Structure 1
């Protein structure tokens, strides 16, 4: 049986002029999930302090965090383990997470509260809308996109979040010198990401000659339980880091 991770029967990314929101197509599907007591507590008790919505409008990030600091945005943080670890390890950096699934948002908020983290804020919104409506231009030092849904079926490739229009929006929100860091465990999606990024204006690949176009997992990206389990099974993971140069 063919491994879909290596299926070359793919369509290419959309053109750079394609609309960001095409006919309501989303890069995610909302799934019902059972909430634990801790996750419910996070949404009910911690959300008023750390949660953000589109209705809050364009953010002044210095005012939001009460300081000037490097700013990192993670899109689709899942259950939040990686983001919590980073916020805990780097108290001098401010982190913003975006996730649409309630259990993951509740889990992250509960953990942030238990660990006393003040350098973390959370959106439960569509990431494209947050980038467009809430984050100022040239306000981020890094945007992280770790293990996004690969949408492996050919008919679903239009749902992949990594498209030329998305990358251009990210570029506008990154500071000059800021980085877009992506990671995936699907080789076909990694190749798709490379195709999009190599055609995107204003970015340069940070990979060295020996490993290009990919990079070894940097120390600042925590190894998730899912990824560690995959490594033991021989699954590959591809990291890409591109820097805004214009």
Structure 2
């Protein structure tokens, strides 16, 4: 990390960074750890979670334009977390928190069940080589993990510039009984709450179509 990014952890971490109890691995979450959103943000508000927030461009834009909502960025790369804290501070986004952790563990155990209004997954690693497809985040079993964290009626929003990954996402979530499509036709309209990022622009520049999906969490029995 750069000197400025190192300084972000020293000066800005108390405002933005959630130091979660760890399990066995460096970015794991201890299975007994639980987030208390009201205590974390100092209020009761809608919670939006972004998985794989990168350098934070999308979530900072959303947090700074929606001060009545709370936002949680989940990322495993410290340089990206540091950059997000620096830019969030400049933008005055005080309704944003960050956690350095594996996304499935955050969704499966750390977040209280039904606490998230929306979960965003934009341009997650497509692992486009066929031998690496098994490393993709959205694969069989992921739907149930995401459904646990979402409130009834909550939305799971996804976007990717890799067609085969988009089709895999759709296949996985169409088969998940706890979700239903919140779009018509083959693909959802572009989410207007998603700011254009370098990942999306890079895909467009290379001639790849951006595909959005959005699924609604069905009511719990």
CA contact (8 A) 1:76 1:146 kept: yes
CA displacement 1:171-219 (0-9 Å, x = unmatched): 01100010000100000000000110110012111112xxx23112121
What residue is the counterpart of 2:204 in the other structure? Answer: 231
2:65 corresponds to which of 89, 113, 119: 89
Distance 1:178 1:214, change over 3 A: same
What residue is the counterpart of 2:17 in the other structure? Answer: 51
What residue is the counterpart of 2:112 in the other structure? Answer: 136
Does 2:162 align with 1:196? no
Note the C-alpha offset of 1:114.
2.1
CA contact (8 A) 1:91 1:119 kept: yes
Does 2:52 align with 1:76? yes
Q: Distance in 2 between matches of 1:105 and 1:59?
A: 19
Aligned-residue RMSD, C-alpha: 1.5
Note the C-alpha offset of 1:232.
4.4
Does 2:8 align with 1:42? yes
Segments ≥4 residues shifted beyond 4 Å: none
What residue is the counterpart of 2:158 in the other structure? Answer: 182
CA contact (8 A) 1:41 1:110 kept: no
Does 2:92 align with 1:116? yes
CA contact (8 A) 1:167 1:200 kept: yes
Tell which has more relative contact order, 1 or 2 (C-alpha 8 A, sep 6+). Answer: 1
Q: Distance in 2 between matches of 1:85 and 1:160?
A: 26
Note the C-alpha offset of 1:233.
4.4
More displaced stretch, 114-123 vs 235-244: 114-123
CA contact (8 A) 1:190 1:238 kept: yes
Q: How many residues align?
A: 209
Q: TM-score, normalised by structure 2?
A: 0.89
Q: Distance in 1 between matches of 2:133 and 2:200?
A: 23
CA contact (8 A) 1:97 1:123 kept: yes
Q: Distance in 2 between matches of 1:84 and 1:78?
A: 11
Q: Distance in 2 between matches of 1:163 and 1:122?
A: 24
1:126 corresponds to which of 102, 106, 116: 102
CA contact (8 A) 1:205 1:213 kept: no
More displaced stretch, 223-232 vs 110-119: 223-232
Q: Distance in 2 between matches of 1:42 and 1:235?
A: 35
What residue is the counterpart of 1:30 in the other structure? Answer: none
Q: Distance in 2 between matches of 1:54 and 1:128?
A: 14
